[in-house]
Amino acid sequence: MKKFIVVFLILCMTLGSGCIQKKVVNTEVRDYIVYNIGKLPEDLIMLDRHNIRQEDLLLCLFEGLVSMDKKGKIVPALAFKWEISEDKLSYIFTIRNDAKWSDGSDIVAEDFVNLFSNLLKNENNIYKQQLYCIFGARDYAENKVDFSKVAVMAKDNKTLEIRLNYACSYFLNILSQPIYVLRKDFKYLKEWKNNFSLILYSGPFKLDSILEKEELSLVKNQMYWDEKSVASNKIHMKNEEAIAFALADYKWDEIDIITNPPMNQINEFIKAKELFRSPSINGMSLNFNFNKEGIIKDINFRKCISYCINRKNIINNIVLGEGANSFIPSSIKSSGENKILFANYSNLDKAKEFLDKSEYKGEKIKLVYLNSNENNKEIVDEIIKNLKKIKIKISVEGYNEEMLKEIIHNEEYDILLTHYIGEYNSPIAFLEKWDSNSKFNIYGYNNLEYDVLILKAKLTGDSSEAIKYLSFAEELLYNDIPCIPLYFSKNIVGAKRYINGLEVNKRGNVILKKVYIHKQNE
């Protein structure tokens, strides 16, 4: 019977009829919150991929030196204060006296020393270059020195000093990312589903059990330093990957919090006063495969593709957000003015002009995308509509996560629709990814002049000089077009009206620390 109801609800959703069932949750029966995380992570290390929903789990279970609030401001976490030297090369963090692991043992500075050692030694860590601003970090990661030569030092049990190679103005932003939360015993984190009871937790919750269908049960960490601010004693996380089924569960009050509901349901959430919106620094882009010989290496062809993009149609009909008019979101100021590099509307006359300049001979182009996100298919359909109008032959293939990873690894594509992400709140988070040495640059783009500009922006201690270098780098990126940013999304979260205390940070992470059910008789 339940399956019939679910199918019926999905059909209603597809037809856009707005047949949302109104039902008040019986908080006497269920006094815990259910959040849909989507696909569960393979491990609790999460250094080889970026999945913002899976990082929500990290932020429930662990905490770092600092964190980011909903406005993008860096705030204290396990470190209650920090001091930055006058030359901006030394950071001294003071760890809270009441910071403890979930077993009651003290969290000490040496725990962070071990954390950084593990992060830098992890061969699959796509983020490790972010830490190369730390003195000795790169040499250690490349096995040239031992960790005693890395400037991450425990001055005493509660004092951690980190010394940098250069004045990195965004260093705290780097440390605020979920991947830098404090963890230990990485062997247990690797096989977390079998070893969750052995893991020591540093955050507001700890993993209590894994239920049927791998639903996670989290309970309050009584040893957490800010335990009094943790509003719920228990939170369940569901792993429903299909948004249609997650939405059906939401409408049936089996899920209380859901992210990125379909566009055709947004008005229903607004009418029900159950929609939570905030600015984001994440979006989507088209990335070109420079590792493969062919027409993609032709700059005129890439410019042709760029002029075919109609961002207005995408953000009006498919996703909530703003058109990506540059490589950096407008919410992150890179200079005194927001650059307009990409238009919101397509220009097919201009596209045809560049197509005629290119060496395109009618060969078929392969565009690939992740098919588990239902918006991706609609975005792709919108893009190829204009490509076909100017007689570009294109094949489109959607893959699951594992298959897509293999396709990318084997370079069996020409264009990839993918997430366009800044992990931290700084312009360089977006631009440094196209450095030829970046682990994120798997597409083969290489421009020495660009690399030098990014390096100069990092090394200069003058913020105005850094802005100038980044501005030049962005213009160079526009001239080369290794990727085409499409849009920057809004953080869209559906939450039942009985849910209070929900926060979403600027990165888009759903923060569950202060979330609770507001009972009807309160």
Three-state SS for 383-402 is: HHHHHHHCCCCEEEEEECHH
Own/partner contacts of 472-478, CB < 8 Å, gap of 24 or more, are 473/431, 474/326, 474/327, 474/328, 474/334, 474/339, 474/341, 474/431, 476/447, 476/449, 476/450, 477/327, 477/431, 477/434, 477/450, 478/326, 478/327, 478/341
Question: Do 473 and 457 meet the contact criterion of CB atoms below 8 Å apart?
Answer: yes
Confidence band of 274 (pLDDT split at 50, 70, 90): very high
Alpha helix positions (H), 178-275: 186-190, 192-195, 243-251, 266-271
pLDDT tens digits along 188-206 = 999 999 999 999 999 999 9
Model confidence at 10: pLDDT above 80: no
Mean confidence (pLDDT) of the chain: 90
Judged on CB neighbours under 10 Å (0-12, 13-18, 19+), 380 is buried
Per-residue pLDDT, 262: 82
Our measurement of the distance from residue 19's CA atom to the centroid of its chain's CA atoms, rounded to an integer in Å, reads 32
Give yes or no for a contact between 270 and 493, defined as CB atoms under 8 angstroms apart. Answer: no
Q: What is the pLDDT of residue 18?
A: 34
**The residue count for the chain:** 522
Chain CA centroid to CA 493, Å: 15
Quick one: average pLDDT of 115-132?
A: 94
Measured CA to CA, the distance from residue 316 to residue 308 in angstroms comes to 17
Q: What number is the average pLDDT over the span 79-102?
A: 97
Q: Alpha helices, DSSP H only, in 70-185? A: 109-121, 137-141, 171-175
pLDDT above 80 for 12: no
Q: Helix (H, G, I), strand (E, B), or coil: what is residue 444?
A: coil
pLDDT of 166: 92
Does residue 508 surpass a pLDDT of 50?
yes
Q: How confident is the model at residue 22 (pLDDT cuts 50, 70, 90)?
A: very low
- Residue 20: per-residue pLDDT: 32
Where do the domains of the chain lie, and which CATH numbers do they carry?
A: 2-60+186-277+492-517 (3.40.190.10), 63-180 (3.90.76.10), 282-489 (3.10.105.10)
The pairing of beta strand 415-421 with beta strand 499-500: unpaired
For residue 107, pLDDT beyond 80: yes
Structure confidence at residue 484 (pLDDT): 97
Average pLDDT over residues 448-455: 96
How confident is the model over 115-120, as a mean pLDDT? 96
Range of 25-34, 351-360, 488-497 with top mean pLDDT? 351-360
Residue 9 contacts by C-beta under 8 Å, 6 or more apart in sequence? 19, 21, 247, 248, 251, 252
H-state helical runs in 122-271: 137-141, 171-175, 186-190, 192-195, 243-251, 266-271
Q: Determine the 3-state secondary structure of 182 from DSSP.
A: coil
DSSP state of 292: S
Give the closest residue to 255 by CA, choosing from 73, 521, 30.
30
CB 207 within 8 A of CB 216: yes
Q: Evaluate if pTM is beyond 0.75.
A: yes
Cβ proximity of 331 and 321 under 8 Å: no
H/E element, 492: strand 491-495
Pairing of strands 74-76, 66-68: antiparallel
Q: In angstroms, rounded to a whole number, what is the distance separating the alpha carbons of residues 201 and 182? A: 8
Report how far residue 471's alpha carbon sits from residue 482's, in angstroms, rounded to the nearest whole number: 17
Question: In whole angstroms, what is the distance from residue 317 CA to residue 509 CA?
Answer: 24
What pLDDT score was predicted for residue 333? 59
Cα torsion through 123, 438, 372, 278, rounded to 10:
120
Which amino acid is present at 436? S
